[in-house]
Structure 1
Amino acid sequence: MEYIQLLSHLKEQGYGYHIYGNSLLDPDLIHARILTEQNHAYSPSTLYLAPARLLPPPDLDNSIILFCLEQSANFQQYETSAFQVAAFEPGISQGEFLNFILDCLTEIQQITSGMHILVNALFSGNGLQYLIDTATNIFGNPIYVIDLQYKYLAMSAGIVPDNIFFQEESATGYISETGIQHITRNNLDEKVQKTNHAYYHYNELIQKGMLIDTVEIQGVGIGHVMMLESEHEFYDFDREFFHRFSKLISMELQKDSSFRRNKGVMYSYFLIDLIKHPKKNTNHIQERLKAMGYNLKETFYIIAIPTVGYSTSDLKMEVILERMKFILSGSIYVIYENTIVFLISRNLNQRFSDYEMNQLENYLNANNLKAGISNFYQNLEDTACFYQQAVSAVLLGIKLSPASSVYYFSDYYLYKMLETLEREDPQIQFLIQPGLMKLYLYDKEHGTDFMDTIIEFLKHPGQPANIADALHIHKNTLLYRMGKIKQITGCDFVEGEEYMNYNLSVKIMKYLHLI
């Protein structure tokens, strides 16, 4: 048993003492014995109850712990000793005192045995649920882990309380509105945070006691672990045991990069849930966000900076995220699978302001970053799909327009279709409109630039002045070139379908880097 923990228990029980000698000792104690005249060897793992006349000489070079219940000794002589003497106040019953210490040692042996099993479960690699189920078997009561957004991350599989309140929450995966109100009304989050051990709370909603402890990553609270006094009453040592178990939960969650990188970030885990579970029923997520004060609007956008979007930057993801939070204020954000993700909620007719976009583009350009923006959508169930849109926008944008910093999926959706098609049929060059391919080959053979002309013509249909300006040629030169183009392609460009076919073919050629 950790010696410091034993002293804490003694103080809680009302035993007063004063420490002499080596105050830095904190051994694991296994045994407790009364020191006798026959003792000639000492063990650092044994606690000795010593009468004053049998205390060893001050120069004994041994890191042992001695408790003395008498006041007749000259304790000052032990101030610089290698061992430690704890002199207790007079009037203590030696028998009761020894029994209390033995009870403490018995409890800690049970804790040590249980922790050994739990540590093995932690390092088994079987995940959080396995760790929770193992702990449930040891404690004999159901255990629950929730994040800061009141979502159940894990709950005991073997023991399910016969309680309608928990049955309803188990079905939704979230603490109910009534439960959140109970937590708020009783200031449970604050009370648990202030204590240095597992906090006991009697829950009137279920008429049972609970032990609650904080789950932390690098000193930042990211959730809570709870044990319900359901199958049997808590043992005296359960509070200390459960507190140690909470540390293992923290270690398990630290393995998950999403928790490690988003510790303490409000709403982040909701966004992770939306991305991880496509088409999931999101009613409960919307209710939780509303209860936590986040006002969802009519439409949503995803902005993403995947690995390729920051791989050439000198900034770390966390630094980028901190700055982006201020540019895209009021958003939900997370680092998911090495991608910085923002969920933006806007009214249907509300677009990104010029100020926001200028701020975003300036920051991205200054730090060699690339971001993708999805199309808008209205159902949170579709978040995973639009997350992929934002990531694809960056991947395609870097391939086709490397000088840009912001890529809108709406500008690249045709290229995404081509990318998908290419997986099934690698010969997509055969889909290029034959007339455009003739024009491309004519340029190659004669050194002309009719392809540049047709591209600008398709960009600005019916606007010869703008086309000529873009090409830096006279209108008459443009008319001549268009005559040749129509002759080579065999197309008069008078129908909308002709414009569509040639535009699509230009996209294919650009995707294949032919132009």
Structure 2
Amino acid sequence: MEHSVLLSELKEKGYEPLIFGKEHPARNLLFARLWDPAQTVFDPAALYLGSTSQMPDPETDSEFTFFCCGEPVDFSRYGRSPFTLAYFGSAVSQAALFNASLESISRLQEISAGMHLLVNALFSGNGLQYLVDTAAQIFGNPIYVVDLQHKYLAISAGLIPDNAFFTAESQSGYISEKGIASIRANRLDEKVRKSGTAYYYVNELVQKGMLVDAVRIQGIEVGHIMMLESERPFRDFDADFFHRFSNLVSMELQKDSAYTRNKGVMYSYFLSDLLKNPGQDASRIRERLRLLGYNLKDTFYIVAIPPAGHSTSDLQLNVILERLIRIFSGSIYVIYEDTIVFFISRELFQNLSEYEMSQLADYLLANQLKAGISNFFRQLEDMPSFYRQAVDAVKLGLKLNDPSPVYYYSDYYVYKLLETAEQNGENLRFLIHPGLMRLYLYDQEKGTEFIATLREYLHQPGQSSQVAKNLHIHKNTLLYRLGKIRELMGCELAVGEEFMNMNLSMMVLKYLGMM
């Protein structure tokens, strides 16, 4: 067990050691020994435990790890020692510290032994089924591997639960409709993604515990592995062990032509890589995509559905993804940071088509989803910034209570500037034009609707008849209101700069929720 991992686990158990000497975070500790003061030869893979009444000489010229407890001593002498010393305080007994450390080391030894067998199975060339069967024997429980279409890729042999539900699913080769409904109702996929490791839950359909983990290829989620707690109870370390196993399943699937030759998935790797690692050589990415048969055009857009945009929907991300793939044919897509991301390539003067946007809006409305669309860009290395634009568009659109299902960043960039100013400590109320503030306060005091009237007029300046129609008032009433508005504001609204100032102030009011 790595030195840093052991310390981390002990801290989780409530221990708070003070560290002195030279640290070796990556040093592997394979066994524990009680400290022998007469010892002169030390094993760097051993953890030595003792009392502060019997300490190693600070000048001992060996690299090892020493844990101690008891009454404090002058630890400053150990500041430059070549070995690592961890002091756990006077309230900790040597026996308790030894047992806690040995428990962690023994647990990892068992995992290491199991991983050794699983790695051998992986490189045996016998395929996914053999790897899963080997894992089931090691864990002592049945294991299942499914893809994002809920198809079983492998079901462990030999350990078959006596359960009609799993028997029926095993025969069909797919998770049943009842099983899918349960997954959605419990938001299981979302919980697995958030956990970052194997997630435990009780399967209500069979009343047994299960561990579920995501299988990813270069960060792209391609399936899930599940283990049923049917033959023996899960051990404390099974979740960690099972998570390590998921990485081996990922490696095995990468050898499978169904995944390695899937161009959509391969393209997704590049998109995910560009989002996670900005500043890459864009020309290299372009060339690799070209070799895979994807030729980039002149301009790009990012369409994103972040967590805030799908949190109220009952659909799984992979279901949403499959529908959008049909709308944005020829695009590159990925699920990144729990966000559906589409990278769309177009010719220089070719926008997203009306048909695409109509289909997108209809689908989003029907399923309580929100999408953001970035400005266009031309350099691949700029992708992370434009991805953030699409995500910010959704966040700002929701903040401003915009009912539209699609948010264009070009409509919200001023609000982004206001958000940035606010985060930097600017009081946005001070940015409101004084004339408009007077009008706002007059509305609040008198119950008038001058702000609403001015807002409509600013949208369609000079078109009095249309403005009156939109406000459902007579044109003469509008002209009276405009006269009163000019009087209260001390502004004639006769030049473009006045219109610009008033529009900006209106946006501040809207951002602050004052209108």
* Structure 2 length-normalised TM: 0.52
One-letter identity of the residue aligned with 1:271: L
How far off is 1:445 after superposition? 1.0
How far off is 1:473 after superposition? 1.5
Structure 2 matches for 1:42-441, cutoff 5 A?
Answer: 120=112, 219=153, 249-251=247-249, 265-441=265-441
Whole-Å separation in 2 of the counterparts to 1:341 and 1:193: 36
How far off is 1:279 after superposition? 2.8
Partner of 1:495: 495
Q: Does residue 1:453 correspond to 2:453, yes or no?
A: yes
CA contact (8 A) 2:217 2:250 kept: no
Whole-Å separation in 2 of the counterparts to 1:313 and 1:501: 39
Secondary structure of the corresponding residue to residue 341 of structure 1: strand
Secondary structure of the corresponding residue to residue 267 of structure 1: helix
One-letter identity of the residue aligned with 1:326: R
- Alignment CA distance shift 1:276-1:121 (3 Å): farther
Secondary structure of the corresponding residue to residue 403 of structure 1: coil
CA contact (8 A) 2:128 2:249 kept: no
Whole-Å separation in 2 of the counterparts to 1:460 and 1:302: 31
Cα offsets for 1:131-170 (capped at 9, x unmatched)? 9xxx9xx9xxxxxx9xxxxxxxxxxxxxxxxxxxxxxxxx
Give the superposed CA RMSD: 3.5
Structure 2 unmatched ranges of 5 or more: 1-107, 132-144, 148-152, 155-214, 219-243, 253-258
Cα offsets for 1:331-376 (capped at 9, x unmatched)? 0000001000000000111111111111101100000000000000
Secondary structure of the corresponding residue to residue 467 of structure 1: helix
- Alignment CA distance shift 1:310-1:121 (3 Å): farther
Whole-Å separation in 2 of the counterparts to 1:413 and 1:284: 31
Cα offsets for 1:116-139 (capped at 9, x unmatched)? 98963998xxxxxxx9xxx9xx9x
One-letter identity of the residue aligned with 1:481: R
CA contact (8 A) 2:372 2:394 kept: yes
Whole-Å separation in 2 of the counterparts to 1:371 and 1:312: 13
How far off is 1:505 after superposition? 0.4
- Alignment CA distance shift 1:491-1:360 (3 Å): same
Secondary structure of the corresponding residue to residue 266 of structure 2: coil
CA contact (8 A) 1:333 1:343 kept: yes
How far off is 1:465 after superposition? 1.8
- Alignment CA distance shift 1:442-1:319 (3 Å): same
CA contact (8 A) 1:298 1:345 kept: yes
CA contact (8 A) 1:309 1:370 kept: yes
Whole-Å separation in 2 of the counterparts to 1:249 and 1:513: 47
- Alignment CA distance shift 1:506-1:194 (3 Å): same
CA contact (8 A) 2:309 2:369 kept: yes
CA contact (8 A) 2:299 2:347 kept: yes
How far off is 1:222 after superposition? 7.7
How far off is 1:266 after superposition? 3.0
- Alignment CA distance shift 1:222-1:507 (3 Å): closer
The structure 1 segments of at least 4 consecutive aligned residues displaced by more than 4 Å after TM superposition are 116-119, 192-198, 216-224, 246-249, 251-254, 261-264
Whole-Å separation in 2 of the counterparts to 1:506 and 1:463: 19
Q: Does residue 1:468 correspond to 2:468, yes or no?
A: yes
Cα offsets for 1:37-73 (capped at 9, x unmatched)? xxxxxxxxxxxxxxxxxxxxxxxxxxxxxxxxxxxxx
Secondary structure of the corresponding residue to residue 335 of structure 2: strand
Cα offsets for 1:286-334 (capped at 9, x unmatched)? 0011111112110000000011111111100010001110011110000
CA contact (8 A) 1:119 1:248 kept: no
Cα offsets for 1:404-423 (capped at 9, x unmatched)? 10000000011011001100
CA contact (8 A) 1:301 1:345 kept: yes
Whole-Å separation in 1 of the counterparts to 2:285 and 2:354: 31
Whole-Å separation in 2 of the counterparts to 1:454 and 1:336: 43
Q: Does residue 1:481 correspond to 2:473, yes or no?
A: no
Secondary structure of the corresponding residue to residue 501 of structure 1: helix
- Alignment CA distance shift 1:321-1:248 (3 Å): closer
Whole-Å separation in 1 of the counterparts to 2:362 and 2:460: 29
CA contact (8 A) 2:432 2:509 kept: yes
One-letter identity of the residue aligned with 1:420: T
Whole-Å separation in 1 of the counterparts to 2:320 and 2:306: 12
Whole-Å separation in 1 of the counterparts to 2:376 and 2:270: 19
Partner of 1:32: none
CA contact (8 A) 1:222 1:263 kept: no
CA contact (8 A) 1:301 1:376 kept: yes
- Alignment CA distance shift 1:253-1:427 (3 Å): farther
One-letter identity of the residue aligned with 2:248: S
Whole-Å separation in 2 of the counterparts to 1:477 and 1:195: 77
- Alignment CA distance shift 1:300-1:263 (3 Å): same
CA contact (8 A) 1:299 1:376 kept: yes
One-letter identity of the residue aligned with 2:112: N
Whole-Å separation in 1 of the counterparts to 2:475 and 2:328: 45
How far off is 1:402 after superposition? 3.8
* Structure 1 length-normalised TM: 0.52
Whole-Å separation in 2 of the counterparts to 1:390 and 1:499: 28
Whole-Å separation in 1 of the counterparts to 2:298 and 2:400: 32
How far off is 1:477 after superposition? 1.3
Secondary structure of the corresponding residue to residue 266 of structure 1: helix
One-letter identity of the residue aligned with 1:120: S
Cα offsets for 1:429-461 (capped at 9, x unmatched)? 111000000000011111110101110111111
Percent of pairs with identical residues: 53
- Alignment CA distance shift 1:475-1:196 (3 Å): closer
Secondary structure of the corresponding residue to residue 389 of structure 2: helix
One-letter identity of the residue aligned with 1:495: V
How far off is 1:194 after superposition? 9.1
- Alignment CA distance shift 1:511-1:389 (3 Å): same
Cα offsets for 1:361-409 (capped at 9, x unmatched)? 1100000000000000000000000000000000111111342100000
Structure 1 unmatched ranges of 5 or more: 1-115, 124-130, 139-144, 146-191, 199-215, 225-245, 255-260
Whole-Å separation in 2 of the counterparts to 1:249 and 1:351: 40
Larger Rg: 1
- Alignment CA distance shift 1:473-1:223 (3 Å): closer
- Alignment CA distance shift 1:374-1:353 (3 Å): same
